[in-house]
Amino acid sequence: MTIATIDGKVVLEAVNKAVEEHGATIDELIPILNDVNRTLGYLPANALDEISRRLRVPKSQLFSVSSFYRMFSTKPRGKHVVQFCESAPCHVVGGRQVWASLLDHLKIGPGETSPDGNWTLITTSCLGVCGVGPVIIIDDDIYGNVAPDQIAEILARYSETRE
């Protein structure tokens, strides 16, 4: 393995934990990928190598699976991940303006990570909480009934408290 040992160690640990929890069989592949993606923030190549070895699944199949599902990312993500619900019910209650405001404040496009590594902006489809749309999620925090002029203040909470 070519990457720094510290990274490799963290990666190995994450994979170990997930495989132990779910068992090393192919039908547990998606739960395992989910856990690792969650722990590391994305699926680095060496994590996929390790999973491939442990589950005896060809790497080609792993890549094909991990690129299929939206929850998995093979690229590193920013410190904070902002998800925007782009589905119709949120759209018709003002989602469009919220989106414009997000783009404007983050200065990145959908799927992009800011150069300082602080933000990744992604869109998601309905999160099932349309009753309080428009909806955005930052990391694990769900914000409902978001208005465009709240965006600056919501984002500011993350730059203040967690940097």
Q: Using the rule CB under 6 A, which residue among 11, 32, 85, 151 binds ligand FES?
A: 85
Q: Is residue 87 part of the contact set for ligand FES (CB under 6 A)?
A: yes
* Enclosing H/E stretch for 143: strand 141-143
Site string for ligand FES, 90-109 (x = CB under 6 A): x-------------------
Q: 144 to each of 28, 51, 84, 127, how far by Cα in Å? A: 33, 37, 11, 11
Structure tokens at 6: 């510290």
Residue 24 contact among another protein, ligand FES, none, beta carbon within 5 to 8 Å by kind: none
Residue 13 contact among another protein, ligand FES, none, beta carbon within 5 to 8 Å by kind: none
> For residue 98, with 0-12 CB atoms within 10 Å meaning exposed, 13-18 middle and 19 or more buried, which class applies?
buried
CA distance 63 to 39: 19
Interface with another protein (CB under 8 A): 26-31, 33-34, 38, 57, 61, 64-65, 68-72, 86-89, 91-93, 96-97, 100-101, 104-105, 124-133, 140-145, 147-149
